[in-house]
Amino acid sequence: MRLNRLKYTAFMLCVFGAQHLAQGQEDWMTFPAQKKDTNKVKHVELQFGAQKGKVTLHQDSRIDKISEFVRTGEETMEGIQIDGYRIVVFFDQDKTKVAQQKANFLARYNEHKAYVEYVAPNYRVRVGNFRTRLEAEALKSELLAYFPTAVVVEDKIQLPPLPSETVTE
């Protein structure tokens, strides 16, 4: 008997609660939502035949200095850097071992640049400046005989030098 009263009470609370919520949401289907007497929705017609306007820009001179300051982050001591690929050939916590492996790489492949970078807790030897992953993978396949842990990674690279043209007369 007591269980039936609890069910009946819960049912009545749900019915009266739903009725109260329904009364509070009378205009829930109108879009855009309008508040009565405070905001009126204005409709503007586009005039495609209107004459073209003229825009005059008045800019503070300090904005150019700000944009120069922001752009300084793009350049490093090696020059402007772009998105590209490098090969991590060796990493270790011992800086002397890393320096030896860098020298080992440069002795075999002196046409490529090598960089030592510290990312806690290891020093890493990264080599090359490759614009595409395919170029990096080609060198990596050669390096695997000497550096079996070599892996291609995305990195900021230096702009590759432009080939100099020789003029023949």
For 132-149, give the DSSP string. SHHHHHHHHHHHTTT-TT
With 0-12 / 13-18 / 19 or more C-beta atoms within 10 angstroms meaning exposed / middle / buried, residue 165 is exposed
pTM above 0.85, yes or no: no
The C-alpha atoms of residue 158 and residue 109 are separated, in whole angstroms, by 18
- Position 128: which residue type? G
**Domain limits, the chain:** 76-158
Per-residue pLDDT tens digits for 78-96: 667 889 999 999 999 999 9
Instruction: Give bridge partners of residue 154 from the DSSP assignment.
Output: 85
The answer to whether the beta carbons of residues 135 and 85 sit under 8 Å apart is yes
CATH of 76-158, one of 3.40.50.1970, 3.40.50.1820, 3.30.70.1070, 3.30.450.20: 3.30.70.1070
Q: pLDDT for 12-56, tens place per residue?
A: 666 555 555 555 555 555 555 555 555 566 777 777 777 788 888
Q: Yes or no: say if 93 and 121 are a contact pair by the CB < 8 Å rule.
A: yes
Q: Are the C-beta atoms of 105 and 164 separated by less than 8 Å?
A: no
